[in-house]
Homo-oligomer: A and B are copies of this chain.
């Protein structure tokens, strides 16, 4: 069985090395890692073929097989990702604040790496290179636990990345992959306090729940998005239909897709005919309350249940609810959302501000699609996930969100009286 303590010790040894690297050293290593991925593409694809074979044998769903599959383009994209990370500004070393106390102590708050980051993820093998790149650039050692389905691919990618680090003289334990697929090992990984500073799960709701339930290491909860759009009484209805269609259908399986619509009663009859037409063109199933069904027609719209309002469909389904005020919309959304992203469509500034203040989500929008909740769209240049918790980071997490701070205090003999 994998000796996790041993891996933890190696990660800690590596974190001290990484924390002291210059930006140039880190960027050179990332570039070398990208080159190595390109050079050794054949080896990676061979390993990936083994995973695919296994998957086919076990009757894996075609969608899953596609997520698992690598090809030359996909490996090249992984390499390109590392090059892009190399070009991002280094978050480490920044002084966030400096202040002097009356007793002469000079206190500085410096941005430092988190230390050792654990990532637990599912079948997409590109996460192996991606997560390494982001953690590494922010000065962190990373311990990865990928999905069993992608094991051979992940082993090949880890080997390439470790060799590349060795080649530029950096401790390869900056990245370590847990190769044991025993669930007991994963559970022990979630309890590796003293070695791992933070765990970030990347995957479906089930994985995230399991990590939150079982981990004693601090967790950053990511990715569940029951995102709402509220069409206010003062909405521009053309904007509303465009934004709803984009947020619902541009990509259905992602956490920032819209799952539920809240409609002010005053625009219900004006909005719904055009919206119904657009949703039907995109094959979106509608589930709504009676006031909405009476306009759409019961044959075209199921009755929404309590459960519908709480469901992240990740599918061509949309729940819909009528309200009589902004307050009621905010209450409904705060009751059912997952703290991810919610939007109001309105031309009324007071309503917009009320909504921005009242809705308790990481990202609250006025007149824009919830699909913009994304590290790249926010201009962070990279993303490790979307945090839906309040602690540490909220919303899209880029390099800065993979850092902590420390206080340095300089005195000349001060003691406390």
Contact = CB atoms under 8 A, between A and B. Distances in A.
A197 B363 contact: no
A411 B99 contact: no
Contacts of A392: 391-392
B415 A243 contact: yes
A4 to B, nearest CB: 17
Nearest to A330: B16
Contacts of A357: 19-20
A186 interface: no
Contacts of A99: 379
Contact of A363 (B250, B404, B406): B406
Interface string A340-362: 00000000000010001110111
A394 B406 CA distance: 7
Given A364-B408, A379-B99, A411-B367, A16 B334 contact: yes
Q: Interface size class for chain A?
A: 35 or more
Interface in A76-91: none
A213 interface: yes
Contacts of A198: 390-391
A328 to B, nearest CB: 13
Given A218-B391, A250-B416, A115 B360 contact: yes
A20 B334 CA distance: 15
B107 A409 contact: no
A40 interface: no
Given A114-B390, A364-B407, A390-B114, A413 B239 contact: yes
Contact of A366 (B216, B219, B410): B410
Interface in A372-416: 372, 377-379, 389-392, 394-395, 404-416
A410 B197 contact: no
Interface string A89-118: 000000000010100010100000011000
A394 B198 CA distance: 14
26 contacts: A16-B334, A20-B357, A114-B391, A115-B390, A198-B390, A218-B390, A220-B391, A236-B413, A245-B415, A246-B416, A247-B415, A250-B416, A363-B409, A364-B407, A367-B414, A368-B409, A368-B411, A369-B414, A369-B416, A372-B409, A372-B411, A377-B416, A392-B392, A394-B405, A394-B406, A395-B406
Interface of A: 16, 19-20, 99, 101, 105, 107, 114-115, 193, 197-198, 212-213, 216, 218-221, 236, 239, 242-243, 245-247, 250, 334, 352, 356-358, 360-369, 371-372, 377-379, 389-392, 394-395, 404-417
